[in-house]
Each structure stands twice: as structure tokens, then as C-alpha cells.
Structure 1
Amino acid sequence: MPRAGRLLTELVAPLSTTELARRSGMTAGGVSQHLGALRAAGLVLTHRRGRTLISARTDLAEALLREAG
């Protein structure tokens, strides 16, 4: 599975970049790059909680994952 797809599947609930890196085995920088591409595609929303960035799947991502499943 491509790494961006793996990140989407890991985002069952909103997660920090650091937690996504830990779960996926990727570096935080790599996760951040992939999240940027997913945000640009409208598949992920990211917001700041204090000093932490939290990402979550959009409704579009949820629909795509249902169709793929």
C-alpha cells in the first residue's frame, strides 16, 4: 500500500503527526509531506491543538475508503 494510503487508514481517529509517524514507521518529516499532499487532495484536515498538529480524514476520504474496502 502506498504510504499516503497507509496514513489514511491509520487515521481512524484524529492523530498527531508524531503519533502517525510512530504507527506508520515513517519519519515525522515524511508524514508531514504526505499529509500536505493529502490536504491538497481534500482528504485530510489538520488543525493545531497547542503546539501539536492534529490530522483527521475528511468525508471524501471516508467515502473513498468505504468504496475501496
Structure 2
Amino acid sequence: MVARFVLEPKSVLMTEQEQKHKDSESAIASLQTSKEYLEKQMAEVENNLRELLQQDPGLARQIMSMSV
């Protein structure tokens, strides 16, 4: 790796690093989109669970009595 670094022209190394940077930015954007989607899904599930427990207090008591 060190020998390659010394032997490669600067322009080749710069191009490689720029491509890695672009790929990283693309991956970050994709992960951010996934994160936002999953956060929305989680909030929806939490709301559904909350509604279910409000509709059935017996179920809520049963869940609360369970040990982990």
C-alpha cells in the first residue's frame, strides 16, 4: 500500500479519494433516508400499541405483570 502511494501520480490518488468521498456521501444520504423511515414506522407502532392498551385495560395489566 505504501509503495503504491509513492508510485501513483497525485491526480490518480485525488480522483480515487474524490470517488470514495462521493460514495460515502451517497451512503450517508441513503442511511439517513432509511433512518427517517424507520423512525416514522417506530412511532406508528408505538401509537398503535398505546391505542391497543387504552382499549383493553386488562391486556395492559397483563403485560405490566409479566417479568422480563
Task: Specify if TM > 0.5.
Answer: no
Q: Which has the larger radius of gyration?
A: 2
Higher helix share: 2
Higher strand share: 1
| TM-score (normalizing by structure 1) | 0.27
